[in-house]
Amino acid sequence: MNDWIVQLIEGGGYWGIAFLMVIENVFPPIPSELIMGLGGIAVARGRMEFLPLMVAGTAGSTLGN
């Protein structure tokens, strides 16, 4: 499952983060700590920006609730 999450984040970018956060609220075994943690690593490596990552994660989590 972790490989699938990593591939979705790499391929989907911010949309992938938002989608995974929606799924995380519907299907609890996917931990949000993994999703946002990988997003944070992408920010540290310069592949993503912090503010859009935060907005995508928040929007996905809110939609999932």
Number of domains in the chain: 1
Domain, as residue range, for 13? 2-64
Q: What is the pLDDT of residues 6-53, one digit of tens each?
A: 888 889 999 999 999 999 888 877 888 889 999 999 999 999 999 999
- How far is Cα 62 from Cα 41, in angstroms, rounded to an integer? 22
Task: State residue 51's pLDDT score.
Answer: 96
pTM of structure: 0.86
2 residue type, one letter: N
Phi and psi for 31 in degrees, rounded to 5? -80, 130
- How far is Cα 46 from Cα 1, in angstroms, rounded to an integer? 25
